[in-house]
Amino acid sequence: MKVVGHFINGETCIPEGRLQDVFNPSTGQAEKQVLLASEFTVKDAITVAQSAFSAWRNTPVNKRAQVMFRFKALLEEHADTIIELIGQEHGKIAHDAAGELQRGIENVEYACGAPQLLKGEHSKNVGPGIDAWSEFQPLGVVAGITPFNFPAMVPLWMFPLAIACGNTFILKPSERAPSCAIYLASLLKQAGLPDGVFNVVNGDKVAVDTLLCDERINAVSFVGSTPVAEYIYATANQNGKRCQALGGAKNHAIVMPDADVDNAVNQLLGAAFGSSGERCMALSVVVAVGDKIADQLVDKLQTAMLDLKVGAFDNPENDFGPLISKAHQNKVEGHITHAGQQGAAIVVDGRGTSVADHEQGFYVGATLIDRVTPDMDSYKEEIFGPVLQVLRVESMQAAMALINAHEYGNGTCIFTRDGEAARYFSDHIEVGMVGINVPLPVPVAYHSFGGWKRSLFGDLHAYGPDGVRFYTKRKTITQRWPSSGVREGVSFSFPS
């Protein structure tokens, strides 16, 4: 069976070590194995990245950007290979994987602007003959730890910008979808990146803990589930590292009585069931304002869901694919069962879905649950599957109160024709990314991505302008060149 190893110092390496099966979720079969890095291997990668730092930091920023321009071209040229790797290990259908890759490439495009992004700030004559400026210097070796659900895009949120800013990087991808990162590393080498600047170690908690505890790692970007994000943030902080840790979500859509119901239904279908709901921005809860619109929504959703196609990643006719693992399939089905036991109405039931010729695949069909209440476990927890739940309230204020009370605050959306209501909503809702008639308000690469509350630990959001700040430290220089013959006397008061 093929073994997926690491990429260290410009080459793939497969040392002896612990192995874990990598499944093709569409077939349910283990088709590869991934090496789980030892502490020794991770420390070796850190040593390599540290050695590469000095030369890379001193490489002119336009030269670093040129590597990113070539990398972008290679990503486009080899898109089909990346899409195939995502499909094999994640189960994402090609059209969806292509979208993921495109959003990742946009982050490379942003990193191509590094000369502009790192220009700094300058003030002349802040005092007599004194100039001051701030510049943004790289941190050194930084690490990224990423989840299974975006094997290309989430790593691309991190390393292109970090590298363009002059850092060297160690990526620890999800052990459930490990191949894509290795392939991205090989393209970056082809683009002309010097060896050692970008390294990939595959692995599990052993690798993560080594990165968190090694004093040579200066900053950690994490994306994954909230309990792990919280652990990463606390441990990185204890070890004196800068950290941004993005966690889980429960994204609500409010549907107002004046909304265009057919449009809302179309948008909700894609946002709830696309990628099997395994997106941190998936809309998994609809809050309908008033029973009239709730009844219309449930009725139309139920009818439209009959046409959804779930199946293997390599059939482009499918709308969405399998879940990541058998254990996750069981967990999602358990949530549906539990919601029913707690009194919700299961309107469309995706449990027990079987796909012809792929009976062992980890499939759950699109599921619609009505009359959900805030005390139900299926409402409180992130399900991360193709399950859309409907809550009914009497007013927009009640809908907003629900969202604001939830522990997560990643994304949200309001469907309405009322501009005043939409403006009030976006101003007062306690969520980091807000859509107005836009169901998946994932910020474009030149803004930054991040939730509020327990969806993000840290101050700076991912990529975009916050990414530049995260991967650099500010230095402010105040300069005077005394002219000959003019010398100041001694002063003991604070300069003013």
Active site residue ranges: 280
Regarding 223 and contact with ligand NAD (CB under 6 A), the answer is yes
Out of 83, 86, 156, 249, name the contact with ligand NAD by CB under 6 A. 249
Choose between 40 and 262: whose C-beta lies nearer to ligand NAD: 40
Out of 410, 412, 416, 472, name the contact with ligand NAD by CB under 6 A. 410
Lay out the site mask for ligand NAD across 152-191 (x = CB under 6 A, - = otherwise).
Answer: --x-----------------x-xx----------------
- Contacting ligand NAD within 307-336 (CB under 6 A): none
Of the candidate spans 159-167, 218-226, 296-304, 337-345, the one that interacts with ligand NAD by CB under 6 A turns out to be: 218-226
Residue in the structure block whose two tokens are 């290309």: 152
Regarding 225 and contact with ligand NAD (CB under 6 A), the answer is yes
Regarding 248 and contact with ligand NAD (CB under 6 A), the answer is yes
How far apart CA 368 and CA 348 sit, in angstroms, is 5
Q: How many residues bind ligand NAD (CB under 6 A)?
A: 28
| Residue 85 three-state SS | helix
Regarding 382 and contact with ligand NAD (CB under 6 A), the answer is yes
Out of 118, 208, 255, 310, name the contact with ligand NAD by CB under 6 A. 208
| Element at 396 (helix H, strand E) | helix 396-405
How many Cα atoms sit within 13 Å of 78 on the Cβ side? Answer: 19
Lay out the site mask for ligand NAD across 117-156 (x = CB under 6 A, - = otherwise).
Answer: ----------------------------xxxxxx---x--
Alpha helix stretches (DSSP H) within 319-380: 326-341, 377-380
Choose between 321 and 451: whose C-beta lies nearer to ligand NAD: 451
Question: To the nearest whole angstrom, how small is the minimum distance from the Cβ of residue 177 to ligand NAD?
Answer: 8
How many Cα atoms sit within 13 Å of 378 on the Cβ side? Answer: 32
- 325 closest CA partner among 20, 92, 25: 25
Of the candidate spans 99-107, 240-248, 361-369, 423-431, the one that interacts with ligand NAD by CB under 6 A turns out to be: 240-248
- Contacting ligand NAD within 338-367 (CB under 6 A): none
Question: To the nearest whole angstrom, how small is the minimum distance from the Cβ of residue 391 to ligand NAD?
Answer: 20
Which DSSP string do the residues of 114-172 spell out, in sequence order?
Answer: HHHHT--EEEEEEETTEEEEEEEEE-SEEEEE--SS-TTHHHHHHHHHHHHTT-EEEEE
Alpha carbon separation from 338 to 219, 286, 343, 354 (Å, rounded): 40, 19, 9, 21
How far apart CA 281 and CA 453 sit, in angstroms, is 15
Regarding 301 and contact with ligand NAD (CB under 6 A), the answer is no
Beta bridge partners of 138: 472
| Residue 414 three-state SS | strand
Q: Which two tokens stand for residue 8?
A: 């260290």
- Contacting ligand NAD within 453-472 (CB under 6 A): 455
Q: Which two tokens stand for residue 374?
A: 């805030």
Binding site for ligand NAD (CB under 6 A): 145-150, 154, 172, 174-175, 204-205, 208, 223-225, 228, 231, 246-249, 280, 382, 384, 410, 451, 455
